[in-house]
Structure 1
Amino acid sequence: MNKQRATAIGFAAVLLWALLAVLTVGTAPTPPLLLNTICFTIGGICGLIWSALSGGLGMLRTVPLRVYIFGTLGLFGYHALYFSALRMAPAAEAGLIAYLWPLLIVLFSGLLPGENLRPGHVIGAFIGLAGAALIISGGGGGFQAEHAAGYALALACALIWSGYSVLSRVMGDTPTQSVSVFCLGSAALSLPLHLMFEPTILPQSPTGWVAILVLGLGPVGLAFFVWDIGMKRGDIQILGAASYAAPLLSTCVLVFAGVAPMSASLGIAAILVTAGALVAARASLGRSR
């Protein structure tokens, strides 16, 4: 597989993740850890079926335990915090803050061997943070303290996922089939924590169950496999730049679905987050040339 094809495959994850926020809202009132358990079980089982059909099931025995721990904690940590953030803060605002991860991927990629930060990376970071600040301030209405915990969890999501993605590049020889174990491991971590800390509340309508099924098959399933291919075999700088479409796509889906209202401040914030990421990506692409 050449680099261009791997990059295109990785971008499919961005399109799937644009549906993550609206589908998560559709699963309410199912608590976050229970949602983690169900969705990752669906994604992991589907991954094992694909591994068996592709003849890659045997490769799972060759993967070091530390890789399984790393991948499981990355997937589990991100989604446990993400689902919680969307329960504790408005979906559009929390989703956009969490979508600072493309910007952070570009910044963190400068720490990889042979890479260095350039002024454009720093400038882009500040522009992106300005967008996040606009979201948190409510477009000039002041910091909404009742949503502070949700904002903090969303920011933690961005840090965890960007770190996971960049470190995946370092482990490029690990087979993509290992993502199946990451998913099942995340489900195994989520279940006991759910039983200890959450009430068991399942979707109250067929629509809620459909949202969970689609989450498990797409944004919390297939997306991880194609993203793994893109991070390990594709162009991480180009893929990072392409990922900046995610916040705008996610917000547009939320507005179209009637979950979030369209507002000037939300639109400006989305533009700032995207513009900051593109400035950082331009610096990376300029260095590559």
Structure 2
Amino acid sequence: MHKLPTLVGFSAIIMWSSLAVLTAASGTMPPFQLSAICFAIGSVIGVSAMLRQPSRFRALRQPAKVWALGLFGLFGYHFLYFTALRNAPAVEAGLIAYVWPLLIVVGSALLPGERLGWHRVAGALLGLSGTALILLQGADGGFGGGSLIGYGAAVLAALTWSSYSLLSRRFGSTPTDVITGFCMISAVASLLFHLLMETTVWPDNTGQWFAVIGLGLGPVGLAFYAWDYGVKNGNIQFLGVASYAAPLLSTLILIGFGYGEATLTIAVAAMLITGGAFLAAKDLLKRKKRK
């Protein structure tokens, strides 16, 4: 009964796994400019679908707190993520940013009716160890030349997306069409900040243009709609566990496309972060096996 929505939600995880490589391939466009273009493309996806049934535009009538949450999550996370990958090595910054699934698991244990078991604490410590390995490696030669800004932005990105995901539980009845509005206000905010703070830089070649468009169509566009539909209508336990594969998939894709080296440190960090997330989600895995 929930197979199709679950598959739709899982497609978002696959798309997010390409976020780092597409960002790295998009050239040197500054973060706010890149966000503005990507969110504008994401808005077009939603508007195109809603035009087929104009009554769906009523979904955009939401309280201010819903709009504030959407702006915080979509705009805040992606500005920080793009900043991280512009100022630190792609593999390391991407791995740190993808600690968000682990933070969601640990954070959800602090919600009413939940408890913080030993496995969640152990999982958090493993994930923290993996992140520390990356930061220590950067300290040997990567914290200079602006990498500290990149690593810091990656940490804040993980905190932002995990907070947004946890807070979204309060608005479970909000229709998926509201994601269109989130993309719109994020595009406008990004454009304003770009005009005030950045110098416009356009892609140098066709490959960079394809990467920018790919970001807007996939991980910074369609993925939001797919994830929202999946977690509201599919098997959220499966999707929660499956999202922990995102940092490993993202790292493998980056290395495969030549944006990083398959060092022992990166391999160990990826295993610690992903393994820690699976350990923290032990309860979800057990529930799934019982069914």
Shift of 1:170: 1.9
1:134/1:210 Cα in 2 relative to 1: closer, same or farther (>3 Å)?
same
Deviates more, 1:61-70 or 1:141-150: 141-150
- In the alignment, the residues of structure 2 paired with residue 239 and residue 36 of structure 1 have an alpha-carbon distance, to the nearest angstrom, of 26
Shift of 1:9: 2.0
Q: For residues 19-63 of structure 1, what are the alpha-carbon distances to aligned partners after superposition, in whole Å with 9 as ceiling and x for unaligned?
A: 101100111111110000000000011111112225552332432
Hey, what does 1:240 align to over in structure 2? Answer: 240
1:61/1:251 Cα in 2 relative to 1: closer, same or farther (>3 Å)?
closer
Shift of 1:117: 1.8
Q: Please tell me whether the aligned partners of residues 56 and 177 of structure 1 are also in contact (alpha carbons under 8 angstroms).
A: no
Q: Please tell me whether the aligned partners of residues 134 and 265 of structure 1 are also in contact (alpha carbons under 8 angstroms).
A: yes
Letter in 2 for 1:67: V
Using the size of structure 2 for normalisation, the TM-score is: 0.93
SS of equivalent residue, structure 2 residue 40: helix
Deviates more, 1:234-243 or 1:170-179: 234-243
Runs of 5+ consecutive residues of structure 2 not aligned to the other structure: none
Letter in 1 for 2:22: L
Hey, what does 1:65 align to over in structure 2? Answer: 64
The alignment of Structure 1 onto Structure 2 pairs a total of residues equal to: 287
Identity of aligned residues (%): 48
Shift of 1:257: 0.6
Q: Please tell me whether the aligned partners of residues 33 and 190 of structure 1 are also in contact (alpha carbons under 8 angstroms).
A: yes
Letter in 2 for 1:167: L
- In the alignment, the residues of structure 1 paired with residue 185 and residue 149 of structure 2 have an alpha-carbon distance, to the nearest angstrom, of 26
Hey, what does 1:279 align to over in structure 2? Answer: 279
Shift of 1:199: 0.6
SS of equivalent residue, structure 1 residue 176: coil
Hey, what does 1:53 align to over in structure 2? Answer: 52
| RMSD over equivalenced CA pairs, Å | 1.9
Letter in 1 for 2:156: A
Correspondence list, 1:168-247, <5 A: 168-247=168-247
SS of equivalent residue, structure 1 residue 243: helix
SS of equivalent residue, structure 1 residue 244: helix
- In the alignment, the residues of structure 2 paired with residue 9 and residue 25 of structure 1 have an alpha-carbon distance, to the nearest angstrom, of 26
Using the size of structure 1 for normalisation, the TM-score is: 0.93
Shift of 1:153: 0.7
Q: Please tell me whether the aligned partners of residues 42 and 217 of structure 1 are also in contact (alpha carbons under 8 angstroms).
A: yes
Deviates more, 1:272-281 or 1:227-236: 227-236
